[in-house]
Amino acid sequence: MAADAHASASGGVPGSLRPPFPPARSGYIVEVTTTPARPDVSPGTPLSLFVLGQGADPRSERGVECPGDLPPASDPALVERARRAKAALGDRLFVLGHHYQRDEVIQFADVTGDSFKLAREAAARPDAEFIVFCGVHFMAESADILTSADQRVILPDLAAGCSMADMARLSQVEDCWDTLTDAGVAGRTVPVTYMNSSADIKAFCGRHGGVVCTSSNAKSVLAWAFERGEKVLFLPDQHLGRNTAVREMGLDLADCVVFDPHRPNGGLTTEELQRATMILWKGHCSVHGRFTTQAVDDVRARVPGVQVLVHPECQHEVVLKADQVGSTEFIIKAVEKAPAGSKWAIGTDLNLVKRLAAAHPEQEIVFLEKHVCYCATMNRIDLPHLVWALENLAQGHVVNQIVVDDDTARYAREALQRMLDLPGETTKD
């Protein structure tokens, strides 16, 4: 973990690199801590994700505005500037890009992947001084947790949060655990959190014998959890939890209950909690939650022979109607190994679907919904922010560093490591 947040990066300004904007001041570093709370934000204050840039909330996924002058998006030299800054940084830099990133950004990624692959890639780069994470906040936090103290993880736009991760706050999860304790079931419950959660939720799981999962390994992680407890508290994505438990592990829908953090005792009776095998947190992805069963029916009628391929963050009814279900990496591999003439309707972020369609003109690839459906926060990482971050690094200014405090990182690492240590755990082919 990058513990020394305030040391600046070494290395001078290359002669050829003179950006026309003032270098960012040091000190624009986000320390991700669970305490102290911001005096102006009471715990659990409901703020909209889209009130971005209205101030920092270091306990949340919401992020803050860019602390420097961005190059204008209209600058025709942006691609060249990014190339030069990257070349100037050389081996000191490693750029990770999630599959939902824009084309303009993904072209600069040294590795692209789903959240599981990127976590492994971050951990496997001990020589990179700077890991620039083109993804969202919880991914950059995980990278910081899995890298060493002298490596710095940078998120080009701190407003790149995740609405799903924001649906589970530590105080809410602690209250939930108290409810489970009062119902006499906490001792028999293993908390499992999806990678798409803040570091303090991962740390909660680490402290309580729990584990992290991603969409590519949720089944094996749940199997691990059920070897250790009778019940699972699954955070924060109810759909991934339900889809994995019911579709992949043979549980019944009646074995699942939904814990609503906004209702007393989660809106559940003690008997319901005692009976349930899967206690699903009431959270969801605002992008994948939009795909409907109607869209599946429509595309089947429109495109004879189409195969519907969706991400497991989609609603259960949609997943049941799909032909194949898997993480972003799984989706890519399914298309890559399909023969020419295959027809796909894909239910995941549009940046990825458009890229797949462009890369495979020999196949017919359509977007599952008729409405445009990008992840707004993934899209926050654009070329101006990337250029701004890279040029500052090349000038010796570390900007937008993501630092998880030591105590949170220690327990979050335990939960992450339990996932990474699972036998055969690798991104699905």
Say how many C-beta atoms besides its own lie within 10 A of residue 108's C-beta. Answer: 21
274 vs 379 by CB, closer to ligand 13P? 379
The residue written with tokens 């799981």 in the block is 205
Q: Does 350 bind ligand SF4 (CB under 6 A)?
A: no
Task: Rule CB under 6 A: say whether 170 interacts with ligand SF4.
Answer: no
Q: Of the ranges 40-48, 126-134, 158-166, 205-213, which one interacts with ligand SF4 (CB under 6 A)?
A: 158-166
For the bound state, the minimum distance from the C-beta of residue 135 to ligand 13P, rounded and expressed in Å, comes to 8
- By beta-carbon proximity to ligand 13P, the closer residue of 189 and 214 is 214
User: Using CA atoms, how far apart are residues 222 and 261, in angstroms rounded to an integer?
Assistant: 22
Of the ranges 116-124, 157-165, 168-176, 272-280, which one interacts with ligand SF4 (CB under 6 A)? 157-165
Q: Does 379 bind ligand SF4 (CB under 6 A)?
A: no
CA angle, 69 then 70 then 73, to 5° = 150
Per CB under 6 A, 33 contacts ligand SF4? no
**Closest distance to ligand 13P from the beta carbon of 150 (Å):** 27
Closest approach of ligand SF4 to the CB of residue 196, in Å: 5
**What is the C-alpha to C-alpha distance for residues 293 and 296, in angstroms, rounded to an integer?**
5
Ordered DSSP codes for 223-248: HHHHHH-SEEEEES-HHHHHIIIIII
Q: Which does 327 bind (CB under 5 to 8 A by kind): ligand SF4, ligand 13P, none?
A: ligand 13P
With both helix axes pointing from N to C terminus, report the angle between 406-420 and 115-123 in degrees, rounded to the nearest 10. Answer: 110
- Looking at residue 72, what DSSP letter applies? P
Tokens of 209: 């014998």
Q: Name the residue among 365, 187, 397 with its Cα closest to residue 274.
A: 187
Output 377 or 408, the one with its CB closest to ligand SF4: 377
Interface with ligand SF4 (CB under 6 A), residue from 136, 183, 256, 280: 136
Residue 238 binds what, of ligand 13P, ligand SF4, none (CB under 5 to 8 Å, by partner type)? none
Residue 60 interacts with which of ligand SF4, ligand 13P, none, CB < 5 to 8 Å by class: none
Site string for ligand SF4, 281-310 (x = CB under 6 A): ----xxx-----------------------
167 contacts ligand SF4 (rule: CB under 6 A): no
Beta-carbon contacts of residue 372 (< 8 Å; ≥ 6 apart): 350
d(CA 306, CA 299): 8
- If the CB atoms of residues 118 and 180 are measured against ligand SF4, the closer one turns out to be 118
Residue whose pair of structure tokens reads 């027809």 in the numeric block: 343
Helices 170-182 and 199-207: crossing angle in degrees, nearest 10, is 30
- DSSP letter assigned to residue 342: -
Instruction: Give the closest residue to 320 by CA, choosing from 329, 330, 310, 306.
Output: 310
Give the number of residues in contact with ligand SF4, rule: CB under 6 A.
12
Q: Give the CA angle between residues 123, 128, 133 to the nearest 5°.
A: 65
Residue 352 engages ligand SF4 in binding (rule: CB under 6 A): no
Given ligand 13P, ligand SF4, none, residue 114, with its beta carbon under 5 to 8 Å by kind, binds: ligand 13P
Contact call for residue 390 and ligand SF4 (CB under 6 A): no
Backbone angles phi, psi at 154, to 5 degrees: -120, 130
Nearer to ligand 13P, 85 or 118 (CB): 118
Nearer to ligand 13P, 216 or 277 (CB): 216
Q: Which is nearer to ligand SF4, 214 or 277 (CB)?
A: 214
- Residues linked to residue 212 through DSSP beta bridges, in sequence order: 193
> Smaller CB distance to ligand SF4: residue 157 or 391?
157
For ligand SF4, give the closer residue by CB, 210 or 347: 347
Q: State whether the Cα torsion 297-299-300-301 is positive or negative.
A: positive
Whole-angstrom distance, CA of residue 39 vs CA of residue 404: 20
Give the integer Cα–Cα distance in Å for 164 and 333.
25
- Beta strands at 189-194 and 211-213: parallel, antiparallel or unpaired: parallel
In the block, residue with structure tokens 């492994």 = 120
Question: Applying CB under 6 A, which part among 180-188, 204-212, 373-381, 394-402 lies near ligand SF4?
Answer: 373-381
Q: Please identify, using beta-carbon distances, which residue of 328 and 408 lies nearer to ligand 13P.
A: 328
- Min dist CB 419 to ligand 13P, Å, is 12
Q: Which is nearer to ligand SF4, 114 or 129 (CB)?
A: 114
Question: How far is residue 197 CA from its own chain's centroid?
Answer: 7
Residues that bind ligand 13P (CB under 6 A): 114-116, 196, 214-216, 285, 313, 327-328
**Residue ranges binding ligand SF4 (CB under 6 A):** 136, 162-164, 196, 285-287, 349, 375, 377-378
